[in-house]
Amino acid sequence: MKRILLAVLFFGGILLGNDLLISRQLVVVTTAGWNDNSGVLQRYEKDASGWHKVGSTIHIRLGRNGLGWGIGLHTTPKGAQYIKKEGDGRSPAGIFTLKQAFGYAPFHVHYPYKVYKETDHCVDDVHSKYYNKIVDSTKIVPDYNSKEHMKFPKNYYKYGVVVNHNHIDEKGAVPGAGSCIFLHIKTVPTAGCTVMKESEIKELIRWLDAKKHPFLLQGPNEEAAKMAKRYFSLSLE
């Protein structure tokens, strides 16, 4: 049994890197099933005695068509029925690092935070060399026909967090595998993001601590429980 445990930790460490072993913050989003576009978010924090729930459960909405396995730090099961694709209306399931928080104006928090302008775009055009990157359109020659404005009249992106799905802002993004995935403000299902009330996303950003290496774990109840147990030794029951 000891050898099995060591093997799991060893290979899990290779898969997720050192952050797996030192992560002390976890955002867990669960749904009843793959095609459900609503669910709950629960924060967890780890101390010397193990993982503990933090704060109240937050009711969230996801992609209008539910969930599909995304590209993150997990292993997608062989023969998986639901795989995240560009424009499918599904949020990515799996384990993902969280990158910078963002918004329309300064927000004094300890977590890395970026103020975006109307000219900042997240590119979702699969034919663009900037696919799944957030760019300042005034500093490049745009080659894309489709993008997300990172600041616009509605408050949806007034506060948000970038989810590192499909290597956003990194090399290696797979064209067509899904782009521009965020946690942000909204009360109805989305094209693929996970959303909540303004007060709730602000509370989440205030809580996030880069030194604690936060992850997002997202999936239907059964799959989420498996991932939490396998990669973090966390029981969601």
- Mean pLDDT (the chain) is 93
DSSP 8-state assignment for residue 33: S
- What is the C-alpha to C-alpha distance for residues 111 and 210, in angstroms, rounded to an integer? 6
| Structural domain containing residue 126 | 2-232
End-to-end Cα distance, the chain: 23
Question: Is residue 157 included in any domain, yes or no?
Answer: yes
Question: Is residue 237 included in any domain, yes or no?
Answer: no
**Residues paired with 54 in a beta bridge:** 43
Please tell me the pTM assigned to this model: 0.92
Helix (H) or strand (E) holding 224: helix 221-232
Q: Model confidence over 121-138: pLDDT tens digits? A: 999 999 999 999 999 999
Both tokens assigned to 63: 């992609």
Q: Model confidence over 31-77: pLDDT tens digits? A: 999 999 999 999 999 999 999 999 999 999 999 999 999 999 999 99
Question: Is residue 47 included in any domain, yes or no?
Answer: yes
Question: Is residue 181 included in any domain, yes or no?
Answer: yes
Question: Is residue 162 included in any domain, yes or no?
Answer: yes
Question: Is residue 188 included in any domain, yes or no?
Answer: yes
Q: Supply angle C-alpha 129, 131, 132, rounded to 5.
A: 145
Q: Model confidence over 217-229: pLDDT tens digits? A: 999 999 999 999 9
What's the total number of domains in the chain?
A: 1
Question: Is residue 152 included in any domain, yes or no?
Answer: yes
